Structure 1
Amino acid sequence: MPLVSVVIPVFNGAPFVAKAVASVRAQTVKDVEILVVDDGSTDGTQEVLRRLERTDGIAWFQRDHGGPARSRNDGIQAAKGEFIALLDCDDIWLPDKLEAQLVVLRARPRVGVVHTDYEVVYEDGTVEERVRARHSREPLVRAFAGGHTALPSTLLIRKSVLDKVGALDPELYGSEDSDLTIRLYRATEFECVDRVLVRKLQRGHGYRERAFDVSTHRQKVLNSRERFLLRLEQIRPLTREQRTALDREWANYYLLCGGFAEQLGNLSEARRCYTNAVRKAPFRFRAYSRLLRTFV
């Protein structure tokens, strides 16, 4: 049985997935299986995966397009390892990523999730941002997950813990990562390796090049975000910090909804959304300026 199962979802990632696989094979930990789930790609990804099956020993599956959460779930269901690692097809790991995480997990049995710092890079290798994951300033993460910005490609999770919290929710299109992080945080201890061990590619591609029109995608993401925030509303009791963070996220949601309504020419709906944003976060200037814009 492999020690680590690496699950890689891919949608139209033909130019990138080989680099992701190579970064797994370059790990100092070799007892690894690689499971790639193709989510209905239309760019020749399948040919790349056939080649990687021969050269790198990956196992891969093909599914109709259903989004990254469903693809990750399919890979996790097929996984045989004691630990599960997630890796997006356009991200890469540094060679000692798994080794550094396994040291923590073996030393501390109560820890169920280990993640790492990461950097966001452009295609030419220029670093856009270095993220110190343990010290996140993002309000929702800080309030509900102890300040841990757990980028999916940084995660190494005990399979037993993942079985306990359940699969990613495919209905949370675009919010499934945050939902999983919060559920994991409520079920187990987190630890972070304070070194950059993952490089995340910053560009528009993959799941952002949808197989459907932009309006449909945007509405799907907004509906998903609303379901996610309503789910957080069910947590009782909410601390003051959590209430503030959740209200801020609601304001962000209403700002997005208002912007979408403006683009469609529906100014009355945009005003309603911006008014709701003001109610949720009355000290944010952006909501007032956008509300005023709908009257001008």
Structure 2
Amino acid sequence: MLDQKPKVSVIIPTYNRAHLIPRAIKSVLNQTYLDIEIIIVDDSSTDNTEEIVKDFKDRRLKYIRHNINKGASAARNTGIRESRGKYIAFQDSDDEWFSNKLEKQIEAFADAPPEVGIVYSGFYRIEANRKLYLPSDQLSLKEGNIHNELLKGNFVGTPTVLMKKECFRNQRYFNESLPALEDWELWIELSKYYTFRYIKKPLLCSYSTPNSINLNENNMLKAHEIILLTHLDDFSKNKKNLSEHYYDIGTGLCSIGNFNNGKNYLIKSLKAYCLNFKTISVLFILLFGHNIYYKFRDLHRKIGHRT
């Protein structure tokens, strides 16, 4: 029976997560869909990750180690190249799948039209004592041709994805030059050729950890800049959206003290869409000095946290 089902390759990149990775591995081994292989790519950890992984005695598990640290994108790409499955799934070493995740996604693919390349789901984001369901209900379009929605921002969580391996033909892999947001960049690219299917229910928990890449503001801003430049033709089709991205980068740069580049991006934001009143407000506040800007930023964050 198992041989008649499509094999799923589950790729888990990891780096110094020996204390967390057992939970992630167990959540994959406990899947109700059994025809899987698990490829753990250790990105040159300096802790006892290898020892922890090899304690799991399961023939479906394969351990690969990078000799040098190359980053999460390179680790995922290594796993993709080593995979044998018809479908690819990604698990993060600090997250936890629900036991029926793959089963539900394989069922979704079974009656999907051929142009569907990716099936993803909702998930719970756990931050301290907060539990948030994503993606937001405010999104108007979550499946089908979601290219234009993805140009507004990423809402497809990598650990929620099950995708056809054929999506990676023509060397469409994770961009290893990006210090963050590599999943968003890949979804933007793949959404030009494939449609997405969304399962409107949580199929995993994603945990926020102190050393998460997504908490490094410098990396996020640099990646955001690179992605805008790489896909500028696509972003430029919606000037209002482009203005919002320039605004986000500009205010982010100002927040970390890089006011010169920050102002340049805010000016780009205004040039892209002259009625962006958020941009006009920030440029006006900057006329009164950096300290006033910081007070405004802190007040804005405090209000946003309360809501």
Query: Is the pair's TM-score, using the shorter chain for normalization, greater than 0.5?
Result: yes
Q: CA 1:116–1:148 in structure 2 vs 1: closer, same or farther (change >3 Å)?
A: farther
The Cα of 1:286 is off from its aligned counterpart by 4.4
Q: CA deviation at 1:17?
A: 0.9
Relative to structure 2, which stretch is displaced further, 54-63 or 113-122?
A: 54-63
- Residue 13 (structure 1) aligned with residue 13 (structure 2): no
Q: Residue 122 of structure 2 contacts residue 134 of structure 2 at CA under 8 Å; is this kept in 1?
A: yes
- Residue 252 of structure 1 is aligned with which of 248, 251, 264? 248
1:23 matched to 2:27: yes
Question: Partners of 1:291 and 1:58 in 2: how far apart?
Answer: 58
1:294 corresponds to 2:300: no
**1:81 positional shift:** 0.3
Matched AA of 1:112? G
The 8 Å contact of residues 180 and 213 in structure 2, kept in 1 or not, is answered as no
Deviation at 1:136, TM superposition (A): 3.1
| Residue equivalent to 1:44 | 48
Contact 2:147 2:191 in 1 (8 A): no
Which residue of structure 2 aligns with residue 186 of structure 1?
Answer: 192
| Equivalent-residue separation in structure 2 for 1:291 and 1:192 (angstroms) | 45
Decide which of 61, 65, 76 is 1:62's aligned counterpart. 65
After TM superposition, list the pairs within 5 Å mapping 1:164-179 onto structure 2. Answer: 164=170, 166-179=172-185
Partner of 2:106: 102
8 A Cα contact 2:13 2:43, kept in partner: yes
The CA RMSD measured in Å over matched residues stands at: 3.0
Instruction: Please list every run of 5 or more consecutive structure 1 residues that lacks an aligned counterpart in the other structure.
Output: 210-216
TM-aligned CA distance change 1:165 to 1:105, over 3 Å = farther
CA distance in 2, matches of 1:180, 1:173: 14
- For residue 66 of structure 1, give the secondary structure of its aligned residue in structure 2: coil
Task: Give CA-to-partner distance per residue, 1:14-57, whole Å, 9 cap, x none.
Answer: 111111111111111000000011112223222212223x3574
C-alpha spacing 1:147/1:293, structure 2 compared with 1 (3 Å): closer
1:98 CA displacement: 0.6
Q: Is 1:119–1:198's contact at 8 Å kept on the other side of the alignment?
A: yes
Mapped contact 1:69–1:170 kept (Cα < 8 A): yes
Amino acid at match of 2:221: L
Shift of residue 203 of structure 1?
A: 2.4
Identify the match of residue 125 of structure 2 among 108, 113, 120: 120
Cα distance in 2 for partners of 1:65, 1:132 equals 31
Partners of 1:3 and 1:251 lie apart in 2 by 44
How do 1:220-259 residues align onto structure 2 when only pairs under 5 Å count?
Answer: 220-235=219-234, 238-239=236-237, 242-259=238-255
Q: Give how far 1:82 is off.
A: 0.4
CA distance in 1, matches of 2:7, 2:287: 54
**Deviations 1:134-185 (Å, cap 9, x if unpaired)?**
75379x9763469872100000000112325611111122121111111121
TM-score relative to the length of structure 1: 0.82
Q: Which amino acid aligns with 2:194?
A: T
Structure 2: any 5+ residue segments left out of the alignment? 293-307
CA 44–11 in structure 1, closer or farther in 2 if over 3 Å, else same: same
Change (3 A) 1:27 1:177: same
% identical aligned pairs: 23
Take 2:151 and 2:34, find their aligned partners in 1: how far apart are those partners?
A: 31
* Structure 2 equivalent of residue 88 of structure 1: 92
Matched residue type, 1:294: H
**C-alpha distance after superposition, 1:209-244 (max 9, x if no partner):** 9xxxxxxx75554333222101121338x54xx332
C-alpha deviation, 1:259, in angstroms: 2.5
Residues 136, 142 of structure 1: 8 Å contact kept: no
1:208, 1:141 → 2: CA distance? 22
Question: Between Structure 1 and Structure 2, how many residues are aligned?
Answer: 278
